[in-house]
Chains A and B, each alone.
Chain A
Amino acid sequence: MTNILETRGVTKQFGGLTAVNDVNFNVRQGSITSLIGPNGAGKTTFFNMITGLYVPTAGSIVFSGRSLVGLKPHDVTAAGIGRTFQNIRLFANMTAVENVMVGMHTRMRAGVLGILANVVGVRREEADSRQKAHELLDYVGLDASRADDVSKNLPYGDQRRLEIARALATDPQLLLLDEPTAGMNPQETAELTQLIRRIRDERGITILLIEHDMKLVMDISEAITVLDRGTKIAEGLPSDIRSNEQVIEAYLGRGAAAMAQKQTQQGGA
């Protein structure tokens, strides 16, 4: 299978701090891949480099055979990468539908003159986009009666869903989700897990997920990469990661792996 995204030696330094250090990383086309690691490991920084918000200090990022380094965020979006944010960044005073329609910006063609003349093409595109935005809201499970609500007035869970709808509106081949279930209750988390699966299965969109909820990660991922203090310390199948000593140590501190091992042995005896 081909890789939709490949990074080689990606590094990001903020002054003296190395937030991401020499990371080689692949995402297979059509997979659900997770990026995990303790707080401050550099996961969000890594996303920001892929999406053009940060320029890597060193290394290469290749998406579908095309280098992304140096591209502006909107070019990356146009190339086919959509994303959500760890701290929700909706357009607070725009309605849900408008938020989604903003996501379609790169896929729309209307120019100033066409808009001023209100030509048929522009009118049709506008109507189609609105229609599609409503469909996307429905797809992520936002109630139709909420479509014209200003996004800041939506309940928290709906805001998370709306962010996903907005990212889907950019028509991505690769969707980056930064802690999509943060702050959700177990039922909402379960629904969102379903949604992520459906996005991959029904729309064929490759998914790269940052997540702290281990149950979700182990449940849904086909490959997992672990970052700790900017460095990749492990990658593999969920079953490999679950028992990886370095990963357990990164999460629970030094000596924890040995203890965990002992416990399993005692439990087994």
Chain B
Amino acid sequence: MNTRIRSSLIGGLFGFAIALISGGFAGILAGLVAGLINGFSVPQAEPLNNRAGAVRQGLVASLIASVLTILGIVIRSVLIDPVIGTPLNITSLLISIIGALILGIPVCVIMCVIRTEPPARERIGLAIVIGIVLVTYPWLDQFLNLRFMNEVIPVLVFILMALGLNIVVGYAGLLDLGYAAFFAIGAYAAGMVSSPHFGISWSFWLAIWVAAAVAALFGLILGSPTLPLRGDYLAIVTLGFGEIVPIAIKNLDKVTINIWNYPLLVDFDFTGGTKGINPINRPWLPVIGEFSPSTPIPWYFLILGIMLISIFFISRLRNSRLGRAWTALREDELAAGAMGINTVNVKLLAFAIGATVSGLAGAFYGSYISAIFPESFRFDVSVMLLCMVILGGLGNMSGVILGGIIIQFADRLFLPQFSTVVQKLIVASGNESLREVNFASDFRLLLFGLTLVLMMILRPQGLVPSGRAARVMPPVKVEVPHD
């Protein structure tokens, strides 16, 4: 199949699925998403010669994608909504379709044009488009009455963590299955110094640094016993740490230490046990005041800011002496040592810096939900993060972000909504036996596992492979001599 058609089909299918599952005005968002994905993939499929060609190609591509998206909107409103109890509303159907076209087509065309620019300008263009989408999203969400914001924020937290895990697994090649432990450690460290738990009630802006430092320290502590281990052995030991940390947190609520019969600590409540730590201070800023749980917009920009700053610094590391040492370590540990790299130091730095990122995420998350419990940081978090990293492409930040978006949205929005729709359809059809099946929670882990296995078989390098290989064919610019 023609790669051009295939890439617009991919964009279209995303639009179709979002429109079909989410209903309401989400169809408009679906158009936007389809346009974005479309514009990302089209010119990569084939080099373009000029701007007019790019516009034409963008129009053709968005035509295919729009047809699919509209199909999704129509099926949802005409066939599904009436069955599950929402009567067909022609006005909102039309608004959805027009909205999807208005957002989707220009975005796709603009993306196509940007992607034919020379690399430096292309990067700036992409940053501007992505920036506009990110900054305007909260208001789009409000305007379209989508109510996705409360899910978007945890999605960003998880993507931030995946970026940290990517340092360890993607850059340095150390398969860490217990990475969620550092999330927990960061969240607890921040919680302990900014809550009534110990009576230390520092501000969030201070606590987040404590979290980063404590997580980094634990990165070193938990990393050091694994230094001689490779591959499977490393994975098993880190898996163990990932299990031990939440269990330890759960049980450190009655610590008694006697030194020579002198009771140093008696039933000291270190972590709050199963009750966790609650409430944790929320950030405070001059104009905004204290962040409130009912207004998600400040939280959204806070986590977005933490994420962008992290990406900025991680890419500095990536393109440095240290980043090269990580890659060399991943490629051939023995040769890396023989070329002068102190493999012990470099591994520990990967663990520590990866843990720091997770610590930041933990501090934010604890403050955002204003409470933390040992149960929030179990193995499935680590596995999900690993899925995000592998799906997108080991060692490539844009790939990891894409993988994160796909997995997280599937997990938090798509599956639950899918499940609700199916449930309602089942109820409407009067089939009693399937009533108890909950598609969201029952199939979650199965889907992660399936994603991992399928990716390993079909595309081990991930959706966006790392390095220069991603851009095999640079767009060709033809200079037309005018005479």
Interface set of A (CB-CB < 8 Å, partner B): 51-53, 72-74, 77-78, 83, 85, 89-95, 98, 101-103, 105-108, 110, 112, 115-116, 118, 122, 125-126, 148, 150, 166-167, 170
B467–A93 touching, CB < 8 Å? yes
Residues of B within 8 Å of A102, CB to CB, are: 324-325, 327-328, 336, 339, 341
A93–B331 touching, CB < 8 Å? yes
B340–A91 touching, CB < 8 Å? no
B338–A83 touching, CB < 8 Å? yes
B324–A116 touching, CB < 8 Å? no
Q: Which of B321, B335, B337, B353 contacts A108 (CB 8 A)?
A: B321
Q: How far is the CA of A89 from the CA of B339 in the complex (A)?
A: 11
Residues of A within 8 Å of B321, CB to CB, are: 101, 105, 108, 110, 115, 125-126
Q: How far is the CA of A203 from the CA of B110 in the complex (A)?
A: 54
- Shortest Cβ distance from A83 into B: residue: B338
B340–A89 touching, CB < 8 Å? no
- Shortest Cβ distance from B343 into A: residue: A74
- Shortest Cβ distance from A110 into B: residue: B321
Q: How large is the interface on B (under 10, 10 to 19, 20 to 34, 35 or more residues)?
A: 20 to 34
Q: How far is the CA of A186 from the CA of B322 in the complex (A)?
A: 39
B468–A95 touching, CB < 8 Å? yes
State whether A170 and B324 are in contact (beta carbons under 8 Å apart), knowing that A112-B349, A150-B469 are contacts in the complex.
Answer: no
Q: Which of A51, A73, A91, A108 contacts B328 (CB 8 A)?
A: A91
State whether A170 and B317 are in contact (beta carbons under 8 Å apart), knowing that A93-B327, A101-B324, A112-B349 are contacts in the complex.
Answer: no
9 A-B pairs with the lowest CB-CB distances in the bound complex, closest first: A106-B340, A77-B340, A91-B331, A73-B337, A89-B335, A115-B320, A110-B321, A102-B328, A105-B340
Would you mind naming 12 contact pairs between A and B with Cβ atoms under 8 Å apart?
A: A53-B334, A73-B337, A74-B338, A94-B328, A98-B324, A102-B341, A110-B320, A112-B322, A112-B349, A112-B353, A115-B321, A167-B339
B313 located at the interface, meaning its Cβ lies under 8 Å from any Cβ of chain A in the complex: yes
Q: How far is the CA of A110 from the CA of B322 in the complex (A)?
A: 8
Residues of B within 8 Å of A126, CB to CB, are: 320-321
Interface set of B (CB-CB < 8 Å, partner A): 313, 316-317, 320-322, 324-325, 327-328, 331-332, 334-343, 349, 353, 466-469
Residues of B within 8 Å of A112, CB to CB, are: 317, 322, 349, 353
A74–B334 touching, CB < 8 Å? no
Dominant secondary structure at the B interface: helix
Residues of A within 8 Å of B320, CB to CB, are: 110, 115, 122, 126
Residues of B within 8 Å of A105, CB to CB, are: 321, 324-325, 328, 339-341
Q: How far is the CA of A52 from the CA of B331 in the complex (A)?
A: 20
A130 to chain B minimum Cβ distance, whole angstroms, is: 11
A91–B335 touching, CB < 8 Å? yes
A73–B338 touching, CB < 8 Å? yes
State whether A116 and B327 are in contact (beta carbons under 8 Å apart), knowing that A77-B338, A89-B332 are contacts in the complex.
Answer: no
B327–A91 touching, CB < 8 Å? yes
- Shortest Cβ distance from B338 into A: residue: A73
A78–B335 touching, CB < 8 Å? no
Q: How far is the CA of A90 from the CA of B327 in the complex (A)?
A: 12
Q: How far is the CA of A94 from the CA of B341 in the complex (A)?
A: 16
Residues of A within 8 Å of B467, CB to CB, are: 93, 150
Q: How far is the CA of A30 from the CA of B468 in the complex (A)?
A: 40
Residues of B within 8 Å of A89, CB to CB, are: 332, 334-335, 338
A202 to chain B minimum Cβ distance, whole angstroms, is: 22
- Most B CB atoms within 10 A — which of A74, A98, A126? A74
A84 to chain B minimum Cβ distance, whole angstroms, is: 9
Residues of B within 8 Å of A106, CB to CB, are: 340-341
A112 to chain B minimum Cβ distance, whole angstroms, is: 6
B170 to chain A minimum Cβ distance, whole angstroms, is: 12
Residues of B within 8 Å of A93, CB to CB, are: 327, 331, 466-467
Q: How far is the CA of A91 from the CA of B349 in the complex (A)?
A: 20
Q: Which of A77, A115, A148 contacts B339 (CB 8 A)?
A: A77
Residues of B within 8 Å of A74, CB to CB, are: 337-338, 340-343
